[in-house]
Amino acid sequence: MTETKVQDFANKRVLLVDDHTHIRTIFTSILNGLGMFRLSTADRSDRALSTLQTEPVDLVITDFNMPGLSGIGLAQRIRQEIRSKNPRFNPSIPIIMITSFGTKKCLVAARDAGVDEFLAKPFTTLGVAERIDSAVNMQRPFIVSDNYIGPCRRRKVDPILSGLKRREADRMAIMNEFDIERNLMQGDAQILIDIAGYDEFEEASTATITRIGEITAARAQRIRDGLLERAAMSLLKYTSLATAQGKLETDIVEMHGYAVKQLLDLAGKDLNLSNQVVDSLERAVVKRTRVRHLA
């Protein structure tokens, strides 16, 4: 994901449809982190359809499983609008479907309903950015037939660059890698802080925290930042221990979110302070889990 591509969809108007308040909050944080502030939300499919009729929308992001009309039903209603003599909204609008059920059956159902992209929970900033980039910047031909309405389901494979063009592409990718990885880690750190704003964690939130820890550790390895990797591993250790002990606490999760942000700001500027930040995280994890174990 390059900065140019992010800018390509930064001003898109998004309709987010999900019946869970905390998912809408987390997703809003991710979209804002990607520069997408033109956002409408709905907690039900019927309200989403009303929004489509009254507001210009460039992208729909909808949950799979909702009360009333499901995400599949919503996608079908949007696509069927093309058969209307006077369409009330754009029936070919890109649709991304999010779900906890990342199975082949759900994927096929989403594709058959005319969905452009499919995003399984728990999601991260990188995953969301990639799906939006694909849905918005790489739109496929729109198909209308007796049995199917939606984007062409055949993926176009671009030829592999070679020679000087390939080397130039590689060089530009390397130049952008550090900034991109750091921006994505900033976004995921903010998700941790937003999740910690709830009084209690839900199962989906715990899965998201774990996934963010794993992704942050992997990104830190790619850019060879040992302190960021230690911070991510500290979060994973705490999540594992606290979940096993039956109590995952918001303040420790929030601490890790702010710590990652601070480490990103301090990178290459103050190694001593960066070490102190990570040491504090590790001590807090040991102290909190030890006290609970003894209790």
Domains assigned to the chain: 3-151 (3.40.50.2300), 163-290 (1.20.120)
* Contact criterion met (CB below 8 Å) for 149 and 143: yes
The predicted pLDDT at position 224 comes to 82
* Contact criterion met (CB below 8 Å) for 114 and 128: no
The sheet carrying 95-99 orders its strands as 39-42, 14-17, 59-63, 95-99, 117-120
CA distances from 101 to 48, 88, 120, 139, 215 (A): 22, 31, 7, 25, 20
Q: Is the entire prediction scored with pTM above 0.85?
A: no
CA dihedral 125, 130, 133, 138 (to 10 degrees): -170
Q: Read off the amino acid at residue 254.
A: E
β-pairing verdict for 117-120 and 142-144: unpaired
150 φ/ψ angles, rounded to the nearest 5 degrees: 155, -175
CA distance linking residue 235 with residue 290, whole number of Å: 15
The predicted pLDDT at position 33 comes to 82
Contacts of 68 (CB under 8 A, 6+ apart): 44, 45, 46
CA distance linking residue 172 with residue 50, whole number of Å: 44
The predicted pLDDT at position 231 comes to 93
CA distance linking residue 75 with residue 258, whole number of Å: 38
* Contact criterion met (CB below 8 Å) for 247 and 289: no
What's the start-to-end Cα distance of the chain, in Å?
47
The predicted pLDDT at position 138 comes to 80
Angle at 129 between CA 49 and CA 36, to 5 degrees: 60
- Quick one: 11 exposed, middle or buried, by C-beta within 10 A (0-12, 13-18, 19+)? exposed
Could you read off the pLDDT tens digit of each residue along the chain, which spans 295 residues? Answer: 544 444 566 788 999 999 988 888 888 888 888 888 899 999 999 999 999 999 999 999 999 888 899 999 999 999 999 998 888 999 999 999 987 655 667 777 888 899 998 887 777 787 888 888 888 888 788 888 888 898 886 544 444 444 444 444 444 454 456 667 777 888 888 888 888 876 566 666 888 899 999 999 988 888 888 899 999 999 999 999 888 887 888 889 989 999 998 888 887 777 888 888 899 899 989 888 875 554 4
CA distance linking residue 277 with residue 259, whole number of Å: 6
* Contact criterion met (CB below 8 Å) for 89 and 78: yes
- Nearest by Cα to 23 from 50, 63, 58: 63
